[in-house]
Amino acid sequence: MPGNLGIGHVRYSTAGCSDLSGAQPLEAHGKLGDLAVAHNGTLVNAGVLRSLLEDGGILFRTETDSEVLLAMIARRAAKGLESAVAEAMSAVKGSYALVLAAGNRLLGARDPHGIRPIILGRKGERWYLASESCALEAVEAQAVRDLKPGEVILIDEQGPRSIVQDLANDRATCVFEYIYFARPDSRIDGISVMESRLAMGRELAREWDIQADLVCGVPDSGVPAALGYARESGVNYGIVL
């Protein structure tokens, strides 16, 4: 496929139906031109915002909360891309990391609490945004840094620049990223997922010293924690499941 910009999405829906109509990226057309968004997270006030937008004449094609986010951005298009995204982020509540393609510009945003992860990467003159650092390694790109909570990054022909940083609240990264969601070879906010799971297992062994014959983990995310437990407790590790 020819072009100099693209976005993709490989995650199932957490709001609405997981069917083809809700497959991302989602597209919209307006004063900003053609828009496409890929969103990881869950908006807790999507129902209220959806109702308000429908009262204002906005039509929705899917049941996903991601389309509400896209509609919020498109609705404020007259103010320009940067203002539209900043205002939409101020209105929505919940967790999100998103990438937005708008013409020849790529935009990435992280929710004000940093609940969902998103990282900036580089390979030569190419720039990447990904929900996990392991995705950068897959294309042989180098991780540059994690986006800060509430930060918006715009990437164009001049490269990336931070355009919004004043929405941040106290950091509250989702602990389930480290426990279950993320791949073990990823790093989130500078913390190794593999090392964090090993540490959880070691701490569990210190808090619960169980006399047992064998320690096993439930594949896949439970395995590193079981290894940590085995190493700390001295109980042998074995593969059972």
User: What is the DSSP annotation of 59-123?
Assistant: --SSS-HHHHHHHHHHHTGGG-HHHHHHHHHHH--EEEEEEEEETTEEEEEE-TT--S--EEEEE
Q: Where are the domains of the chain?
A: 20-174, 190-233
| Over residues 202-228, mean pLDDT | 94
Q: Answer yes or no: are the C-beta atoms of 197 and 206 closer than 8 Å.
A: no
Amino acid at 120: L
Per-residue model confidence (pLDDT) at position 52: 87
pTM of the model: 0.87
Angle ∠(184,188,194) on CA atoms, nearest 5: 25
Q: Answer yes or no: are the C-beta atoms of 196 and 172 closer than 8 Å.
A: no
* Max avg pLDDT among 9-23, 65-79, 111-125: 111-125
- Tell me the C-alpha distance between 142 and 140, whole Å: 7
Q: What is the band of 30 on the pLDDT scale with cuts at 50, 70, 90?
A: confident
Partnered with residue 36 across adjacent β-strands are 27, 101
Per-residue model confidence (pLDDT) at position 24: 82
Q: What's the chain's average pLDDT?
A: 88
H helices of 178-221, in order, are: 193-207
- Tell me the C-alpha distance between 43 and 41, whole Å: 7
pLDDT in tens, 149-208: 999 999 999 999 998 766 767 888 999 999 999 999 999 999 999 999 999 999 999 999
Q: Distances in Å between the alpha carbon of 144 and those of 28, 70, 122, 133?
A: 30, 27, 7, 10
Q: What is the DSSP string of 142-164?
A: EEEEEPPTT-EEEEETTEEEEEE
| Over residues 230-240, mean pLDDT | 95
Orientation angle between helical segments 46-55 and 65-75, nearest 10 degrees: 50
Token readout for 90 is 């101020």
- Cα-Cα-Cα-Cα torsion 215, 219, 221, 227, nearest 10 degrees, comes to 20
Share of the chain above pLDDT 70, in %: 93
Per-residue model confidence (pLDDT) at position 15: 56
pLDDT at residue 13 greater than cutoff 70: no
pLDDT in tens, 56-113: 887 787 788 888 888 888 877 777 888 888 888 888 899 999 999 988 899 999 999 9
- Tell me the C-alpha distance between 197 and 33, whole Å: 44
Token readout for 162 is 């931070």
Q: What CATH number should be reported for the domain whose range is 20-174? A: 3.60.20.10
